[in-house]
Chains A and B, each alone.
Chain A
Amino acid sequence: MGEPVRGTVTSLSSVFPPEESVKASRRVHEAISESQKGLDKLQGFISDNTNLINLVQKLPEELHHDIMVPFGKAAFFPGRLIHTNEFLVLLGEGYYADRTSKQTIDILRRRGKTLDTQVDSIKAEMKDLKVEASFFESTAVEAAEGLVEIREELDDIPAETMSKTGQQNQESLSSKAGDNKVVDGDDEFARIMSRMDELEKEELAAESMNESEEEFAVESVNESEEELVSESMNGSDEEELVAESMDGSDEEELAAESMNESDEEEHADKMFTDGFQKKELATEDFVVNDEYKPLKDHIFSSGQRSTVGILNHTMKLSKHDMTGDEEGSKLKIQQNLSDDLCKPLSNQIIPNHPSQAIRTNNMENVNVHSSFEERSSSGGKRVTFADSGVTERSPASSQVKDNVHSNSASKTIIGSIVEHTHNLNINQSGQVAPPPKLESSKPVSRFKMNRK
């Protein structure tokens, strides 16, 4: 994350001082209690009204009622209630009117309606007050905790970085967000995510290096292929990384370090472009197709190489001369950023190259992958699939092609990784020997097999 932080950081406590927000919330609470009292009074009126209605309804049922008449403050005497249908109703302001039972009930009902509307208005008022109170309380708490509001301007994030949204980014972001109130836009988010992605790759690269030293048979990608790959890789950050890693480690170099950090940082383009010296790198036993180096699980997607994947595996440049295959040998190892990062070993080779044979091989193997050891050596790297999961490379180049196509991302590797079939045959034979050396889980350079 090299981007400078722009924007302002405002402490919530400065905008809403905690004491004031506490006072405000208290005030609001008092207002709420007052309206609650009014509400209770109104509810009492409403209940009285209903009782009265019931009584007025019952009275006309008899011609006269025998009752105990209140007399003064503390006395009653027996009496009779007559004219049971005549009521003197208070209209208001000292005005009374003679009404029948039914008319009285109508009057009472109308009064009840006005009471109801009053109650509704008070309830709405109370709701607003409650919302206000909750807001004040939350701000008081937040200000006390020292939350900070961050405002940053939106930046135009390059497409590559944008595409680099990985899980890591999200994780990192979420942790960030948890601490602060981020008021940034989505662009900021993507930017951060891409940065985190890069960082993660680096970490993974470091891990991978420390991990098994399985070698990847990276299909030797012809330099041209590498270039192609790199081109294709341009599309994505991964690609860049791969290229870089590829480039950076010219084979031996790559083997050592590249995978680790360089991978992440380097772009695949570089790697590829630098050429297939990687072929020379080859530590692998894999038979080096001249063109292909068996791709291990790492799939370089048009230059994309999940640094993670690469890191995990030390790319050993086999002696393939990937260059031989220029078309097919280009290994596009695609590393699925998110997946691969998580599983360093799994790198998918993107069959960007027309040389599908290689790709397909890769694809097959790669897709499954998880443990790739890759050397970031550019070109001629052999990626050996660490995972046993990787399907055996299909010797058939056609298959490879298919896979490749399917796997290839938008990037099209010009210099197909696919090896020539004839080479494949050779490789296969050659590979037979090497595979034993490799981890059992790793298939022998598939590319070789797939090479036409």
Chain B
Amino acid sequence: MASSSAVRDLQRELENKANDLSKLQKEIAKNHQVRKKYTIQLGENELVLKELDLLKEDANVYKLIGPVLVKQDMAEANANVRKRIDYITAELKRLDGTLQDLDEKQNSKKDAVLKLQQRLQSLQAGKAKA
């Protein structure tokens, strides 16, 4: 019976580890999504910057804030767009870092789970023999 309790313990541990692993995987997926969004926004902002550069200095630029279309300065708009671009690139970098950490954690968790599984199998095999 000691062996069976050991088996049960092992199984519980295995479950926990498996849960952690799945959580990690979800986080990684989220990370991927956010990264995608940011990448798209970055592309868009760069496009806006290009068009703004093509505009004449006295052209009217408006910004849509909610349901309101607010007139903006060319300079102000340019500055805003540039800032947004920088912000987005920084975010992306941060996300990359977290993604790497998550990846490492996931790998280690996978190894642990494998080891647990092996132990469980050996125990069960031993039990079967006996």
Chain A contacts to B: CB under 8 angstroms = 88, 91-99, 106-107, 110, 114
Chain B contacts to A: CB under 8 angstroms = 41, 44-45, 47-48, 51-52, 54-55, 59-65, 69, 72, 77, 81, 84
Q: How far is the CB of B69 from chain A (nearest CB, A)?
A: 7
CB–CB B48/A95 < 8 A: yes
CB–CB A91/B48 < 8 A: yes
Q: How far is the CB of B107 from chain A (nearest CB, A)?
A: 24
CB–CB A91/B63 < 8 A: no
| Partner of B59 from A93, A94, A98, A114 at Cβ < 8 Å | A98
B65 proximity list for chain A (CB < 8 A): 94
Complex CA–CA separation, A93 to B64 (angstroms): 9
| Partner of B60 from A98, A106, A110 at Cβ < 8 Å | A98
CB–CB A95/B47 < 8 A: no
In the complex, which of the residues B41, B51, B64 has the most CB atoms of chain A within 10 Å of its own CB atom? B51
Complex CA–CA separation, A99 to B59 (angstroms): 8
CB–CB A93/B69 < 8 A: no
Complex CA–CA separation, A114 to B48 (angstroms): 13
Q: Top 7 closest A-B pairs, CB basis?
A: A98-B60, A92-B48, A94-B64, A96-B62, A92-B44, A91-B48, A91-B51
Complex CA–CA separation, A91 to B46 (angstroms): 10
CB–CB B69/A91 < 8 A: no
CB–CB A95/B41 < 8 A: no
Contact status of A93 and B81, CB under 8 A, knowing A98-B59, A99-B59: yes
Given contacts A88-B62, A95-B62, 10 further A-B contacts (CB under 8 A): A92-B47, A92-B48, A93-B41, A94-B63, A94-B65, A95-B52, A98-B59, A98-B61, A99-B55, A107-B51
Closest B residue to A98 by CB, please name it: B60
Closest A residue to B45 by CB, please name it: A93
Q: How far is the CB of A340 from chain B (nearest CB, A)?
A: 71
CB–CB A95/B55 < 8 A: no
Complex CA–CA separation, A23 to B121 (angstroms): 29
CB–CB A96/B44 < 8 A: no
Contact status of A93 and B51, CB under 8 A, knowing A88-B62, A98-B60, A99-B59: no
Complex CA–CA separation, A101 to B48 (angstroms): 18
- 17 pairs from A and B in contact (CB 8 Å cutoff): A91-B48, A91-B61, A92-B45, A92-B51, A93-B45, A93-B48, A93-B81, A94-B64, A95-B77, A95-B81, A96-B63, A96-B64, A97-B59, A98-B59, A98-B61, A99-B55, A107-B51
Closest B residue to A106 by CB, please name it: B54
Q: How far is the CB of A168 from chain B (nearest CB, A)?
A: 60
A107 proximity list for chain B (CB < 8 A): 51
Q: How far is the CB of A22 from chain B (nearest CB, A)?
A: 27
A98 proximity list for chain B (CB < 8 A): 59-62
Complex CA–CA separation, A222 to B51 (angstroms): 101
Q: How far is the CB of A225 from chain B (nearest CB, A)?
A: 83
